[in-house]
Amino acid sequence: MADFSPERVGIVTESTGNEVLRIEHLHKEFEGNVILKDLNLTVRKGEVIVVIGPSGCGKSTLLRCVNALEDIQGGQILLDGRPVHSGAKDITLMRQKIGMVFQSYDLFPHKTIIQNVTLAPCKVQKRPRAEAEQEALELLERVGLADRRDDYPRQLSGGQKQRVAIVRALCMHPEILLLDEITAALDPEMVHEVLDVVLSLARSGSTMLIVTHEMAFARAIADRVLFIDEGEIVEESTDPKEFFTKPETPRAQAFLKTFDYE
């Protein structure tokens, strides 16, 4: 499998202990509806946390809050001890340290694959084009798409687009990656090629916060599983195998049952 060691892909963590992300008493409302209530979570360096739960439970909103794409009504989100919120002066700097891949194919349709990957490194981080392109190509090579560098997104399959989206996030050298149901819109046969990339990222020590509906994948990759329902963490487990076979809470049991056909 591809080499995604932290040095190679450039995921760096300043040593503020080994804690990367801390969410304290997060409260999120939208038009009077409470989406997340008093949510607490700490993510350590190299940790892979998988968030599962029924649709509408707030798990995607959680990721969007972490990247300050949503306003929050209470609590705080700290990256390396510094607050992340949409009004902050250094928000663009903070967002550079947080990579995010969305469910829908969010590549820029008017840019080629290589331009998609290098746009932010060149314009935001002001890195020299040649250097950014070289790194982009290396990363594309590892996801098997270097030969598509000059194609446009619409010429790629869904799975290929998502692999490019991952590379685009990685090229910014984020400290943590947020993956928001990145295979939910894919045809089944393309799910694997994307999840393989995520698995190898995990093996090479990337810190990730993943929302997914792929239970087998969650079980294989997670260091810790969070089950969220109605805006709060209902069950948390550091033993995915245990969690997926014998969840403790009735709500998690009921949720996992919906994936069985027996």
Partner 1 sequence: MDIEVIRSYIPLYRDALLLTLRIGWQGVLWAFVIGLVCTLIRQLRIPVLRQLVTVYVELFRNTPLLVQLFFMYFALPKIGIRISAEVCGSLGLGLLGGAYMAETFRSGLDNIAPIQEESALSLGMSYLQAFRYVILPQAVTASMPGIVANVIFLLKETSVFSVISLMDLMFTAKDLIGMYAKTIECLTLLVVFYLIMLLPVSLLGSLLERRMRRAEFGN
Applying CB under 8 A, the residues found at the interface with partner 1 are 67, 69, 92-93, 95-96, 98-100, 102, 104, 106, 108-110, 112, 119-120, 123-125, 151-152, 154-155, 165, 168-169, 172
Cβ atoms of residues 244 and 222 within 8 Å: no
- Look at the alpha carbons of 42, 254, 103, 230 in this order and tell me if their dihedral is positive or negative: negative
Provide, rounded to whole angstroms, the least separation between the CB of residue 102 and partner 1.
6
CB closer to partner 1, 141 vs 151: 151
CB closer to partner 1, 85 vs 152: 152
CB closer to partner 1, 106 vs 223: 106
C-alpha span between 71 and 64 (Å, rounded): 9
Provide, rounded to whole angstroms, the least separation between the CB of residue 104 and partner 1.
6
Q: Which residues of 187-200 are buried (b: 16+ CB within 10 A; e: fewer)?
A: eeebbebbbbbbbb
CB closer to partner 1, 172 vs 234: 172
Q: Which two tokens stand for residue 81?
A: 């001890």
Provide, rounded to whole angstroms, the least separation between the CB of residue 217 and partner 1.
22
Provide, rounded to whole angstroms, the least separation between the CB of residue 113 and partner 1.
10
Environment class of 178 (CB within 10 Å of its CB; exposed 0-12, middle 13-18, buried 19+): buried
Environment class of 248 (CB within 10 Å of its CB; exposed 0-12, middle 13-18, buried 19+): middle
CB closer to partner 1, 167 vs 225: 167
- Look at the alpha carbons of 34, 84, 81, 73 in this order and tell me if their dihedral is positive or negative: negative
Q: Which two tokens stand for residue 262?
A: 């027996």
CB closer to partner 1, 170 vs 198: 170
Provide, rounded to whole angstroms, the least separation between the CB of residue 227 and partner 1.
25
Provide, rounded to whole angstroms, the least separation between the CB of residue 116 and partner 1.
10
Provide, rounded to whole angstroms, the least separation between the CB of residue 55 and partner 1.
18
Cβ atoms of residues 11 and 175 within 8 Å: yes
CB closer to partner 1, 123 vs 241: 123
- Among 22, 36, 102, 105, CA closest to 72: 36
